[in-house]
Amino acid sequence: MSAKKEISIAGERCTGCLNCQLICSFTFTRAFNPAAAYIKIERIDGGSEIHFTEDCTGCGLCIDYCAYGTLTFKEGVE
C-alpha cells in the first residue's frame, strides 16, 4: 500500500472557485456538495485558508482540477 502524498498549498492563488471541493465531494459521495469534501476552503479577509480533513486520501484530484495552481504535490515526497 502506498503512502499518502503530501499536497502543497499556495493559498494566495486561491480564488474560491471551489472546483477542488466539488470534484472531491463528487468522487467520494457521488454528489456535488462542498460540505462533504475532504478539502475545505474558508474565505478570510479577502484570502483563503485551505486545509484537508483526516479523511483525505491524497489522491490529487483537487490538484488536477485547480485552474489556478493553488495546489501541487510537494517535490521529492512520495
Taking only the tens place, the pLDDT of each residue in 26-71 is: 999 999 999 999 999 998 887 899 999 999 999 999 999 999 999 9
Alpha-carbon gap, residue 34 to 21, rounded angstroms: 5
Residue 1, pLDDT score: 44
Residue 16, pLDDT score: 92
Helices (H), 1-78: 19-29, 61-64
Cβ 5 vs Cβ 66: under 8 Å: no
What the chain holds in terms of domains, given with CATH numbers, is: 7-73 (3.30.70)
- Higher-confidence residue: 48 or 75? 48
